Structure 1
Amino acid sequence: MADGLSSFWGPVTSTNEWCEKNYVYSSYIAEFFNTLSNIPCILLALIGLVNSSRQRFEKRFSVLHLSNMILAIWNILYHATLYRVLQQSDETPVIWETLLYIYVLYSPDWHYRRTMPTFLVVYGATFAMVHSHMQLGIGFKVHFVILCLLCIPRMYKYYLYTDDLYAKRVAKVYAVTLVVGTLCWLFDRVLCRDSWPVNPQGHAMWHVFMGINSYFANTFLMFCRAQQRGWAPKVVHYMGILPYVKIRKPKVR
């Protein structure tokens, strides 16, 4: 898209150009709304991290929330500068985080517990090296979609085996935000027009919906894992709005 103000960061080197015009509101932020729309994800991930740490959930959930936060920060750096190197620094952690979700989803039933994390680490490292040398474009997107599709059936299985109505509502919000966020991404990517009087900011809305999506996904997974561990999980709400999982671990005698 055409530039507005002069650029503090220099020429755009990213291989992706989103629908938002560059440097319209600030010479320090290439895509203003695409940058700031990551803030909700950071705040929600911070809330999730505090909750999982305070109640001493398994470390995998603290890592999951922390990875959501780090990914949003990398995304801020990428959209603020539109540098190619920061684009890759954003895309590679996306794959790593999806592999982390695969681990959290499948590890409870995995018989070879040491083999699975080793395989995922090697897989993630291999992808990072290949992506850094070949600079995958459509290949990255197809790869990401395939990994996401591996997660969805498992989430649906957990949904079917969950009787708690509040936990099911959390899972439904996860599903709805995933669909709506994806539609926003496609809308921004496919239907972008310079003739629009107002930019609907589809990519920025994708960030917002996926920030909500990741928080609700993590909350639902925490509930399911607590059920597996016999921790009597219960979905409660901050100020009657934001759900989180409260557990009651059995006392060790």
Structure 2
Amino acid sequence: MVFFDYPDKLPDSYVGFWGPVTATIDWCEENYILSPYIAEVVNSFTNFAFVALAIYHLYSTYKNQFGGLYVYISLGFASVGIGSFLFHMTLLYEYQLMDELPMVYVTALPFGYIFSWNQPPVKRYLWRIGTFVVTALFTYIYIFVHRDPTIHQIFYAILNFGVIYKTIKTIHSVVTDPASRKTLYKMLVLAVSLFIFGFFIWNMDFVLCSQLTDVRRNILGLPLGVFTEGHGWWHIFTGLGVYYFIIYNQILSTWMSGRQDSYKLVWHGIFAEVQLQKEKDE
């Protein structure tokens, strides 16, 4: 059912409020079609999924005493959403970097931590400094040498697969309770599945862009057409995937620190929280 027709298609020569597109990537959503001030409305506002989940996780981290690492991860999680909002709103290269680079940095934190954990002091130092140096080198290359987004995607994937590989090895070495192992594996599968599903929808949006645009304009109209913006769904599913991946790492961290008996995984509807349990009076 069409409630409202889409505005007329803008000419290719149209320059929006933020000026010519300087980003190295442009998405399927028609630029400035719904607002003269926001290049991609749906792709912009779906980033609030990141920000909302990050704010909740920051509150949970503070309440449940998870310390500085997860505070930084929560803030990095929120910065990805803010940077991505600015990127899709403006399609300017400097804001593209504010989207892409925080994704790398927020993943490099647990990467350096998990690989340095339980290592002798020298190896621990080398892993953390090495992670910082390699991440800084990637940043320099990506900004000043070669701006191909594929480089960003490959480096980001390496960090994620590294964290997954090392955390699975750590589960085998420190998690002695079979039920807890099962819970960790379920949480990991949930997080990765959400990533993969969001990535699939994003790619369908890319491959079938002209067909989807035609369906939006000639069949669905507004507001139903916005639900076919695949990159917007990628933001939502990726946000959820990141959230559950952080929860997975938090559960494991309680075992790594020997505090597993003080914490419990609690579900609030579809959202999970690793909750510090109050000590009972003796």
Taking structure 1 as the reference length, what is the TM-score of the superposition? Answer: 0.88
| Conserved 8 A contact 1:8-1:27 | yes
TM-fit CA distance, 1:53: 1.2
1:92 has 2:92 as partner: no
The amino acid across from 1:102 in the alignment is F
Q: State the structure with more CA Rg.
A: 2
What is the aligned counterpart of 1:187 among 188, 193, 204? 204
Are 1:38 and 2:47 an aligned pair? Answer: yes
Identity of aligned residues (%): 26
**Alignment-mate amino acid for residue 151 of structure 2:** G
Which residue pairs with 1:221 in the alignment? 249
Aligned: 1:27 with 2:36: yes
Pair 1:172–1:116, CA change in 2 (3 A): same
1:235 is the counterpart of 2:265: yes
Distance in 1, Cα, partners of 2:21 & 2:161: 32
Q: Which moved more, 1:179-188 or 1:28-37?
A: 179-188
* Structure 1: unaligned runs, 5 residues or longer: none
Aligned to 2:273, the other structure's residue is in SS state strand
**Aligned counterpart, 1:205:** 233
**Aligned-pair CA distance for 1:100:** 1.6
| Cα distance between partner residues in 2 of 1:167 and 1:150 | 17
Matches within 5 A, 1:1-16: 3=10, 7-16=16-25
Amino acid at match of 2:161: L
What pairs with 1:59-78 in structure 2 (closer than 5 Å)? Answer: 59-78=68-87
Unaligned runs of 5+ in 2: 1-8, 217-224
Q: How many angstroms apart in 2 are the aligned matches of 1:33 and 1:158?
A: 39
Shift of 1:166: 4.6
Separation (CA, whole Å) in 2 of partners of 1:110 and 1:3 = 58
Q: Secondary structure at the match of 1:9?
A: coil
Q: Is the 8 A contact 2:24 2:147 kept in 1?
A: no
Aligned AA (1:86)? Y
Query: C-alpha deviations, 1:86-141, integer Å up to 9, x for none?
Result: 11232222222221231243232433222222112222222222222124212222
Q: CA RMSD in A?
A: 2.5
CA separation of 1:82 and 1:237: change in aligned 2, threshold 3 A: same
Secondary structure, aligned partner of 2:274: strand
Say yes or no: does 1:113 pair with 2:124: yes
Other structure's SS at 2:267 match: strand
Helix, strand or coil for the counterpart of 1:116? helix
Aligned to 1:246, the other structure's residue is in SS state: strand
Return the offset for 1:163. 2.6
Q: Give the total of aligned pairs.
A: 249
Report the TM-score, using the length of structure 2 for normalisation.
0.79
Tell me if structure 1 keeps the 8 A contact 2:50–2:77. yes
Alignment partners' CA distance in 1, 2:22 and 2:201: 24
1:154 deviates by 2.9
Per the alignment, do residues 148 and 166 of structure 1 end up closer, same or farther by CA in structure 2, a change over 3 Å counting?
A: closer
